[in-house]
């Protein structure tokens, strides 16, 4: 066979144990064997997306034949794969090799030819390269005359472009559609492949990692297909983890800190998260959300005083993100923040970007009054992953779907023009957008927030408490119908009272005390100073972001500067006083060598 042509002898590879069975594909294998066993038109075209396992299926048939599992269905067959790369190298000898190749296939009728991506060969009929035209012509003639038996593969898109109008081709090939595996079948396949990957990478793969691979690839890699995307993710994670383990061990051996003998690494879900973040344009912070709900809730409730109902509604919606359909292309969540000016809507959006996606730099803001489709597209297409996975200026191909892991905030939607909603609604409904350059954008990994003050005029806490649902329905009824249908959750923000501002000041002081407790330095804020800080926070004229920044400027930063410049001794209490309508800071050594208690004033 080596003298005849450029083949990969799959049957021989199966005999020496180089190929794996096609796990969880019994039905597809039986259907293929039934077609191959016919007397006429015994050619099979496997149609399926890249990654569904078409090639693995053919190799699995070779394994099944070697093991005797096809007895009674198809016996004494030999599968060889046409090696296109080798075949087209050396055009001068191609004229001699091609006749020998097809003479061999006609003579050895038990030999089945496997042609991967057969559409590429049929497209060669239009080539100006004589050798390629010759190959396409000889293969076509041998197939259409029934002289050889063939298993071929292609994708649905390639079939529609190159083969669907070829009546002769469709007459001689039985089409067999290969669907992506289910999550359960993919998990079983990974379990079967585990020992092979463990031996190759010298790494241990626990069960929870196999579950995580299926889960993450299902939710965050929708543009790819099972089982291929799960196998790719597991293989990359194993390689990365083992490389880092070996690198760490090598560094320790060079410094004398560890043994030179390297133990097998153990794969972790964190290793998988790192690779998912690289492959799927999603932040590691987003992947770790299920482990951080308690922290997120504590952070939000501690920061946003007086907005307990709003926080509860947001958390309820966020926890649903990981249970949505894996094939859904819509944004992870679509919120409408409704509340008066300076109630914390923008600050909360920024905090969600930080907590759920890793950084407040992942908040993309659009002023609806000045909104333009071009600005929207360019902002999202030019967003660079701040983790450094994507390098600035990297060129994206037409086929690449850009799916940034961000929070998109549309501010003051009451000022938006009707055509703005006409542009945005289809994008949110479908979750995808293609610009004039043919670039594809997916909102699958985004959180979308619309913010408005409409519906919040004249609302008081007394009117709101106990009537939350009625208030929300009132807002929804005033929205454009098709827009309201796309909102997952309406989040009402209440006006902040003087009591809420006082509590914010106390929390900032508590934060400062906690910061200096390890140095045994206390913070004592006198009542007049508390009152001054509270009064200086004009909640009606400044937003929460500005108010918190003001507190940092007048309280936190001066104390930090004093500690840095004077280096007070352990046991010092820094007193915050009010003198002539200005804050002053005075260190006092209250009790020598005695630790400052939590409530020192």
Q: pLDDT tens digits for 327-338?
A: 678 899 999 999
- What one-character-per-residue DSSP string does 246-303 give? HHHHHHHHHHTSS-SSPPPEE--HHHHHHHHHHHHS--HHHHTGGG-HHHHHHHHHHH
Report strand pairing: 440-442 vs 432-434: antiparallel
User: How is the chain split into domains, by residue range?
Assistant: 7-177, 183-280, 325-492, 498-589
Taking residue 72's Cβ as centre, other Cβ atoms within 10 Å add up to 8
| 535, 541, 543, 548: CA torsion to nearest 10 | -30
The CATH number for 325-492, chosen from 1.10.10.10, 3.40.50.300, 3.20.20.300, 3.40.50.150, is 3.40.50.300
Residue 148 three-state SS: coil
Residue 389 gets which letter from DSSP?
A: S
Helices 183-201, 207-220: crossing angle, 10 deg rounding: 120
Phi/psi of residue 68, nearest 5 degrees: 80, 20
- What one-character-per-residue DSSP string does 190-202 give? HHHHHHHHHHHHT
Residue 446 three-state SS: coil
Phi/psi of residue 373, nearest 5 degrees: -55, -40
Distances (CA, A) of 270 to 34, 112, 277, 286, 581: 45, 44, 11, 12, 53
What is d(CA 123, CA 127) in angstroms, rounded to the nearest whole number? 7
Check if 7-177 and 325-492 are the same fold.
Answer: yes
Give the residue ranges of the chain where pLDDT is below 50. Answer: 260, 385-400, 593, 595-601
pLDDT score, position 337: 96
Q: How is residue 163 written in tokens?
A: 């083969």
**Under CATH, to which class is 183-280 assigned?**
mainly alpha
Phi/psi of residue 571, nearest 5 degrees: 95, -5
Residue 343 three-state SS: coil
Query: 299-305: long-range contacts (C-beta < 8 A, 24 or more apart)?
Result: 299/351, 299/355, 300/348, 300/351, 300/355, 302/507, 303/347, 303/351, 304/344, 304/347, 304/348, 304/544, 305/496, 305/500, 305/503, 305/504, 305/507
The CATH number for 7-177, chosen from 3.40.50.300, 3.40.50.920, 3.90.220.20, 3.40.50.1820, is 3.40.50.300
Report strand pairing: 333-338 vs 203-204: unpaired
**Under CATH, to which class is 498-589 assigned?**
mainly alpha
pLDDT score, position 90: 55
What is d(CA 97, CA 1) in angstroms, rounded to the nearest whole number? 12
Spatial CA neighbour of 555 closest among 511, 502, 600, 496: 511
């Amino acid at each position: 066979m080596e003298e005849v042509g450029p083949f990969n002898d799959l049957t021989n590879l199966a005999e020496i144990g180089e190929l794996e069975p096609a796990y969880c594909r019994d039905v597809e294998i039986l259907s293929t064997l039934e077609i191959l066993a016919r007397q006429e038109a015994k050619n099979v075209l496997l149609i399926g997306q890249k990654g569904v396992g078409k090639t693995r299926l053919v190799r699995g048939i070779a394994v099944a034949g070697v093991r005797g599992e096809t007895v009674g269905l198809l016996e004494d067959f030999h599968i060889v794969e046409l090696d296109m790369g080798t075949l087209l190298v050396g055009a001068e000898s191609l004229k001699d090799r091609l006749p020998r190749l097809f003479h061999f296939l006609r003579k050895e009728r038990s030999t089945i030819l496997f042609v991967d991506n057969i559409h590429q060969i049929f497209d060669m009929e239009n080539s100006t390269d004589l050798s390629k035209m010759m190959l396409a012509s000889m293969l076509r003639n041998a197939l259409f005359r029934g002289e050889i038996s063939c298993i071929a593969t292609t994708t649905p898109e390639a079939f529609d472009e190159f083969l669907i109008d070829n009546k002769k081709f469709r007459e001689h090939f039985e089409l067999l559609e290969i669907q992506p595996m289910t999550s359960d079948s993919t998990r079983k396949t990974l379990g079967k492949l585990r020992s092979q990957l463990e031996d190759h990478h010298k790494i241990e793969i626990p069960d929870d990692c196999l579950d995580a691979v299926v889960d993450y690839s299902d939710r965050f890699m929708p543009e790819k297909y099972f089982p291929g995307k799960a196998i790719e993710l597991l293989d990359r994670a194993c390689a990365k983890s083992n490389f880092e383990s070996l690198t760490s061990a090598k560094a320790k051996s060079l410094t004398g800190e560890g043994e030179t003998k390297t133990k097998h690494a153990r794969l972790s879900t964190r290793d998988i998260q790192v690779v998912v973040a690289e492959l799927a344009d999603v932040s590691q912070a987003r992947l770790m959300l299920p482990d951080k709900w308690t922290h997120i809730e504590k952070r939000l409730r501690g920061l946003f005083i007086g907005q307990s109902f709003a926080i509860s509604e947001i958390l309820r919606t966020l926890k649903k993100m990981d249970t949505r359909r894996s094939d859904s292309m819509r944004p992870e969540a679509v919120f409408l923040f409704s509340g008066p000016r300076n109630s914390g809507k923008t600050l909360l959006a920024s905090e969600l970007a930080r907590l759920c996606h890793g950084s407040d730099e992942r908040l993309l803001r659009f002023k609806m009054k000045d909104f333009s489709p071009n600005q929207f597209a360019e902002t999202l297409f030019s967003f660079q992953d701040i983790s450094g996975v994507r390098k600035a200026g990297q060129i994206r191909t037409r086929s690449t779907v850009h799916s940034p892991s961000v929070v998109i905030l549309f501010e003051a939607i009451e000022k938006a023009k009707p055509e703005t909603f006409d542009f945005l609604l289809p994008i949110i409904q479908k979750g995808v957008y293609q610009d004039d350059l043919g670039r594809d954008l997916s909102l699958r990994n985004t959180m979308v927030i619309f913010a408005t003050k409409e519906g919040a005029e004249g609302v008081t806490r007394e009117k709101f408490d106990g009537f939350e649902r009625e208030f929300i329905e009132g807002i929804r009824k005033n929205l454009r119908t098709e827009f309201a249908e796309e909102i997952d959750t309406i989040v009402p923000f209440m006006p902040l009272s003087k009591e809420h501002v006082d509590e914010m000041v106390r929390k900032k002081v508590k934060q400062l005390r906690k910061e200096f407790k390890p140095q045994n330095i206390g913070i004592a804020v006198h009542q007049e100073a508390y009152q001054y800080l509270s009064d200086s926070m004009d909640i009606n004229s400044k937003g929460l972001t500005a108010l918190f920044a003001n507190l940092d400027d007048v309280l936190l930063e001066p104390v930090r500067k004093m500690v840095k410049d004077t280096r007070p001794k352990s046991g010092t209490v820094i007193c915050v006083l009010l003198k002539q309508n200005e804050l002053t800071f005075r260190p006092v050594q209250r009790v020598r060598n005695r630790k400052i208690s939590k409530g020192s004033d």
